[in-house]
Amino acid sequence: NSASVIKHSLNKNEEAFVVKRRKTVLKSLQKLKIHCSKDAVPNIALLGSGGGQRAMVGLLGSLVQLDKAGLLDCILYLSGVSGSTWCMASLYQEPDWSTKLEKVKNKIIKRLNGPGVSWGDAFAKLKKYYYEKDIFSLTDVWAVMAVTPYVKEINEHRVTSQHNKHKNDPFPIYTVIDKQCKQNREGDPWFEISPHEAGYSLIGAFVKTSSFGSQFDDGCKIKDQPEMDMLYLQALCGSATADMDENKKFIWQYIRVLFVQFVFSSTDPNSPSAGKCSQVLMDLVDMNLSVLNGIDPFDLHESIRTNLNELTGGKSQHIFQVEKLNLADKEAAKLHMRKYTLDICIYSDECVCIIDVCFSICKCAVWWIWGTKYDFLHNMTDKTVPRALLESETRDYIDAGLLLNSPYFSVLREERDIDLIISLDFSDGDPFMTVREAAETCKKLKIPFPEVNITSEDVKKPKDFYVFKGQNAPTVIHIPLFNVVNCGDDIEAWRYKYRTFQGPYSAEKITDLMEVAGKNISNNRKKLLEQIQADIRKKRSRRFNNSEYKLI
């Protein structure tokens, strides 16, 4: 059954997994000499924030130390945002990775220190994305252009292939947000993807993960689309540039690099038409960059018109007239450039179908199309779901870090019944923003969450371990990556060394970051054990108070 559903219960496969995993957690607690009955086993979720390669390497270093501390088998859920999902995608390629983490870690680090994906392989992958599905977007470009230089592979595994291969690992949840819900402040922006289902965490609207992206009408699938692979999922989760207008210049520059590499290496030098078509494309990209930089693009327009005339035997002579743009009116200039670009793309599609992928990329950049999928709730009728979600033909999914840089709302689903959240924060800037914003949002949505109070001294000089507790809420342990314990007085130097937007890390930087992230676990093993024991007592007490046997 590939229908989309609206429910407030766990997927049956996830339920079965949880039952088995809780047995593993119980055994792990016994090994740690922690007394616990079957019904008091705590449900523990580990969260990895966003932060590009810093988050990827930081999460790996933290997991290695959790394993050495004997605590990895206590984790029920592993959920990530953005860069943390890059680590998860690498781990979950390996069946039962947590039983052989040292070996898996070495394999990942060897790959990160090795050669990157070749331009030829990357462009072949991009063309595959373009031709195999209905909706192409900048997320496809981001996957091959921005993700592969960091992860050094084209990971074509599917999330659903993780089903039944990870009986000894925590349950993985990858998170993104719905862009329209975020922008219009309506509905439920929190969107999760697991091996079994994909959907809106809080309103409980889900579809099988294998069918996410396929076309639906009134809850029934009407057109299949291929299931996304892990490379695309990493780009979907890690598309931090997708929501910011100021990033348009950055993306056009990325596109220019892409075209220089691909177009001129793949066009036939003996074909004059291919060369002219390539030149039209490059001039078009440079025109967009010129307007964004406040430079008159008229000379580039003349070059485009000349080449198009030669390609079409003079038929385009009077089509693309352009006057000198008033660059002082930035919005008008951008609107003009959008129309001009789309006109050239449409005309070029009809005249010279040599590099149609590239012209489509230009169209996506002009319309700023990211992570677009068919809406699996289209034309359903349900009063509990916001109307916008039922009326849309498509939805756009982007990096969750653009709203909240930690995946709290995937594990705060009531039916997951989480007792303890361990939040590993690899964010840039304020190391408490994620936990503070999670608390504020929970207050608005009436979701149980402990109160979060941070002193100004802590913001300046964060420690390596914070615990927040509430009466009927999960305990939250918050661990900032760089802090006074593992960095001393050099916190700012560490932050600068591991900025979010920089090239892939050297082997030395990876080793150092693994070590500093790992210290946050190894230095706090005793405190983690104490909090687990406290949550067992809390759970036992709550169950006793709710039982029919309690004394009145």
Whether 491 and 459 have beta carbons less than 8 Å apart is answered as no
Which residue shows structure tokens 């590099």?
355
Residue 134 neighbours by CB under 8 Å, 6+ apart: 215, 223, 225, 374
∠ CA 148-251-425 to the nearest 5 degrees? 60
10 lies in the same domain as 45: yes
422 within a domain of the structure (yes/no): yes
What's the rounded mean pLDDT across residues 259-284? 71
Residue 317 has pLDDT above 60, yes or no: no
128 lies in the same domain as 46: yes
Count CB-CB contacts under 10 A for residue 253. 13
- pLDDT value for 550: 46
512 lies in the same domain as 422: yes
393 lies in the same domain as 351: no
50 within a domain of the structure (yes/no): yes
Residue scoring higher pLDDT (393 or 318): 393
Residue 353 has pLDDT above 50, yes or no: no
- pLDDT value for 341: 87
Q: What is the largest CA-CA distance in the chain?
A: 95
61 lies in the same domain as 206: yes
276 lies in the same domain as 360: yes
- Ramachandran region, residue 379 (left: φ > 0; alpha: ψ -120 to 50; beta: rest): left
Write the pLDDT tens digit of every residue in 4-36: 778 888 999 999 999 999 999 999 999 999 999
Write the pLDDT tens digit of every residue in 145-163: 899 999 999 999 999 987 7
How far is Cα 52 from Cα 88, in angstroms, rounded to an integer? 13
Nearest to 80 by CA among 44, 57, 55: 55
385 lies in the same domain as 475: yes
How far is Cα 221 from Cα 223, in angstroms, rounded to an integer? 6
310 lies in the same domain as 362: yes
How far is Cα 69 from Cα 477, in angstroms, rounded to an integer? 17
Residue 67 neighbours by CB under 8 Å, 6+ apart: 98, 101, 102
Sign of the alpha-carbon dihedral angle for 308, 311, 314, 319:
negative
Write the pLDDT tens digit of every residue in 392-412: 999 999 999 999 999 999 999
Residue 272 has pLDDT above 90, yes or no: no
Residue 547 has pLDDT above 60, yes or no: no
241 within a domain of the structure (yes/no): no
359 lies in the same domain as 438: no
211 lies in the same domain as 331: no
434 within a domain of the structure (yes/no): yes
- pLDDT value for 333: 85
Q: Show which of 332, 367, 402 is a domain's final residue.
A: 367
347 within a domain of the structure (yes/no): yes
Which residue shows structure tokens 């033909």?
393
Residue 178 three-state SS: strand
- pLDDT value for 87: 98
Q: Show which of 334, 367, 400 is a domain's final residue.
A: 367
What mean pLDDT, rounded, does the chain reach? 90
- pLDDT value for 90: 97
What's the rounded mean pLDDT across residues 196-212? 95
- pLDDT value for 356: 79
∠ CA 495-422-439 to the nearest 5 degrees? 85
Altogether, the residues listed in the chain come to a count of 552
363 lies in the same domain as 380: no
∠ CA 60-63-66 to the nearest 5 degrees? 155
- Locate 51 and state its tokens: 């932060």
Whether 4 and 410 have beta carbons less than 8 Å apart is answered as no
How far is Cα 167 from Cα 185, in angstroms, rounded to an integer? 38
267: containing domain? 246-367
199 within a domain of the structure (yes/no): yes
Whether 206 and 199 have beta carbons less than 8 Å apart is answered as yes
What's the rounded mean pLDDT across residues 433-438? 97
- Ramachandran region, residue 170 (left: φ > 0; alpha: ψ -120 to 50; beta: rest): beta
- pLDDT value for 273: 66
- pLDDT value for 271: 60
Nearest to 371 by CA among 136, 538, 208, 155: 136
Q: What DSSP designation does 411 have?
A: H
What's the rounded mean pLDDT across residues 240-263? 79
Torsion, CA 22, CA 23, CA 25, CA 27, rounded to 10:
170
466 lies in the same domain as 433: yes
**Alpha-carbon separation of residue 295 from 244, 300, 405, 434 (angstroms):** 22, 11, 36, 40
What's the rounded mean pLDDT across residues 186-215? 95
What CATH number is attached to the domain comprising 158?
3.40.1090.10
Q: What is the tally of structural domains in the chain? A: 2
What's the rounded mean pLDDT across residues 454-472? 94
Whether 147 and 231 have beta carbons less than 8 Å apart is answered as yes
By CB atoms closer than 10 A (0-12, 13-18, 19+), residue 338 is middle
How far is Cα 47 from Cα 59, in angstroms, rounded to an integer? 9
438 within a domain of the structure (yes/no): yes
Whether 475 and 43 have beta carbons less than 8 Å apart is answered as no
Share of the chain above pLDDT 70, in %: 91
Q: Show which of 321, 338, 367 is a domain's final residue.
A: 367
- pLDDT value for 457: 92
240 within a domain of the structure (yes/no): no
In which band, very low, low, confident or very high, does the pLDDT at 62 lie, cut at 50, 70 and 90?
very high
